[in-house]
Structure 1
Amino acid sequence: MKKTILLLALAAALQFGQASAGEALRVGATPVPHAEILELIKPQLAEQGIDLDIKVFTDYVQPNLQVDQKHLDANYFQTKPYLDNFNAGKGTELVIVEGVHVEPFGGYSSKYQSLDELPEGAAIALPNEGSNSGRALLLLHKAGLLALKDPGNALATPRDIASNPRKFKFRELEAAMLPRVLNQVDLALINTNYALEAKLNPSEDALIIEGSDSPYVNYLVARPDNRDSEAIRKLATALTSPEVKAFIEQKYSGAVVPAF
């Protein structure tokens, strides 16, 4: 009798262990809003047998390298222009899985209340990554602060400026550094995830900002060998659920906009 009870207990323990151990899915993300959104869907994925392991990064390079090297299964932080530029420059073949949200890109100042107040020769800080540098310059071009040789060039750099009538001086820095130098320059063009981390409110604090029709969607990205796996598909479905849409709209008040 004792032996039977012991065997039943062992079988139950094994069954419980199998039920509670989900398939691990390692996903890289920047802290805000990407990791916050992933944390929201973690319980939902656990119910589907997916153990979501969120790895937080403060740069835009390592999340891609680690997916390529198979230390991560996917990442969620970047736009298509950035991914295309990264693949071309690094020889990687990462692929888009699903578009999740847009973060309207903005320009901020701790010294001035409007773009008209910017003095001649003002120091303007830009992200130094190709697609983000281009995105910043396109925003300045659209505002009439400068003119680009090719306004359709998503990878424009300061060398592609055709006209700079107010003699602005440009500093190109790593995107994560831009909020930290805000008091050292006259205007800084900052990615919204870093602006939010620095407690800036894009809809209130930005002197210039993209509209909600921005084409710079933030994507879930994986490799060709796993993009269609069941775990990645479940993650993509969860990221585009009504719950995530409501969370984005309520938490970020227009600083982050659902793309689905």
Structure 2
Amino acid sequence: MWGSLAVLFLTILMGFSAVEATSFKETTSLRVGASPTPHTEILEYIKPQLAKEGITLEIVKFDDYILPNKSLAEKDIDANYFQHEPFYNLAVSENDYQFANQGPIHIELMGLYSKRIKTISELEMGATVMVSNSESDWGRVITILETAGLVKVAKGVELATATFDDIVENPLKLKFIHTVNPELLTQAYQNDEADLVAINANFASTIQLSPTVDSVLVEKEKSPYANILVSRKDNRHDEAIKVLVKALHSKKTQSWIKKEWGGKIQPVNGMIK
């Protein structure tokens, strides 16, 4: 008799646990801020994967590079997915954000495009190079130019954080224009406003440009400018965040990214920090 009661009690207890677990999963939601392309598309793709884990993913779209971090700090969202690591490091340093880098997800190759020349050997003295007004992109462009032998920065300066003032050798006397918002560089290219225009792959793809096919110069695929997922320190170990990262790094998602953008955007299966 006591054995039967024990079995009955255990069955009831297990039933309550199952209900509680299901209820928890059904009510778990995750708000993630993201740029439209490709971040939002990637998050939309993994929505079903998260749903199977009991997580409702809500994507909050941002068209600028300031509000996603501000919203995360103010706890309006749980994580964001829009920025590369140098931009993140600068933002954290300047604003004392209590954030956690959850690791790299993908990289959008930076290319230098031109309507005026087809090869770098055609660049003339005093040629203009247009880049974004985001300082975190300057070292990226300088790295591409230095690799091509067009400029050289001062000894001891790290390329990732270099600015145009750090250039000590510039044989062609290249002139740098850095007053344009990143999303407007495609328009500048189409209007032929400079000899070279530095455009990130996510924006280049909107006008059917491929960094590996259409650019005059392109950065190496092992660039440190991978786009990362960011949470706050206070929720960095939340189970929902872990599930999100796992879905983004899954082989299924990686294969889809490669296929969807034809190699213009590359997945990065990085380790969680």
TM-score of the aligned structures, taking structure 2 as reference length: 0.84
The residue type equivalent to 2:111 in the other structure is: G
Matched, 1:177 2:209: no
> For 2:174 and 2:201, how far apart are their aligned partners in 1?
23
Distance change in 2, residues 1:84/1:161 (3 Å): same
Mean Cα deviation higher: 181-190 or 22-31: 22-31
| Identity of matched residues, % | 38
* Alpha-carbon RMSD: 1.9
Task: Tell me the equivalent position of 1:129.
Answer: 134
Matched, 1:67 2:76: no
1:139, CA displacement in angstroms?
Answer: 1.0
In the alignment, is the contact (CA less than 8 A) between 2:29 and 2:58 conserved in 1?
yes
Secondary structure of 2:220 counterpart: coil
1:35, CA displacement in angstroms?
Answer: 1.0
In the alignment, is the contact (CA less than 8 A) between 1:123 and 1:171 conserved in 2?
yes
TM-score of the aligned structures, taking structure 1 as reference length: 0.88
In the alignment, is the contact (CA less than 8 A) between 1:22 and 1:46 conserved in 2?
no
The residue type equivalent to 2:197 in the other structure is: A
Distance change in 2, residues 1:231/1:19 (3 Å): closer
Task: Tell me the equivalent position of 2:158.
Answer: 152
Runs of 4+, deviation exceeding 4 Å:
17-21
1:143, CA displacement in angstroms?
Answer: 0.8
Of 171, 192, 197, the residue aligned with 1:165 is 171
Matched, 1:231 2:240: yes
Tell me, which stretches of 5 or more residues in structure 1 are unaligned?
1-14
Secondary structure of 2:160 counterpart: coil
Deviations 1:129-172 (A, max 9, x none): 22211111111111111111145231211111101111111110
The residue type equivalent to 2:77 in the other structure is: L
Deviations 1:101-120 (A, max 9, x none): 12221111122211122221
Secondary structure of 1:77 counterpart: strand
Distance change in 2, residues 1:70/1:19 (3 Å): closer
The residue type equivalent to 2:211 in the other structure is: P
Matched, 1:248 2:257: yes
Of 229, 245, 248, the residue aligned with 1:220 is 229
Task: Tell me the equivalent position of 2:104.
Answer: 99
Of 195, 204, 214, the residue aligned with 1:205 is 214
The count of aligned residue pairs is 245
> For 1:217 and 1:245, how far apart are their aligned partners in 2?
14
Distance change in 2, residues 1:94/1:187 (3 Å): same
Tell me, which stretches of 5 or more residues in structure 2 are unaligned?
1-19
Of 107, 113, 130, the residue aligned with 1:108 is 113
Distance change in 2, residues 1:181/1:124 (3 Å): same
1:22, CA displacement in angstroms?
Answer: 3.8
The residue type equivalent to 1:206 in the other structure is: S
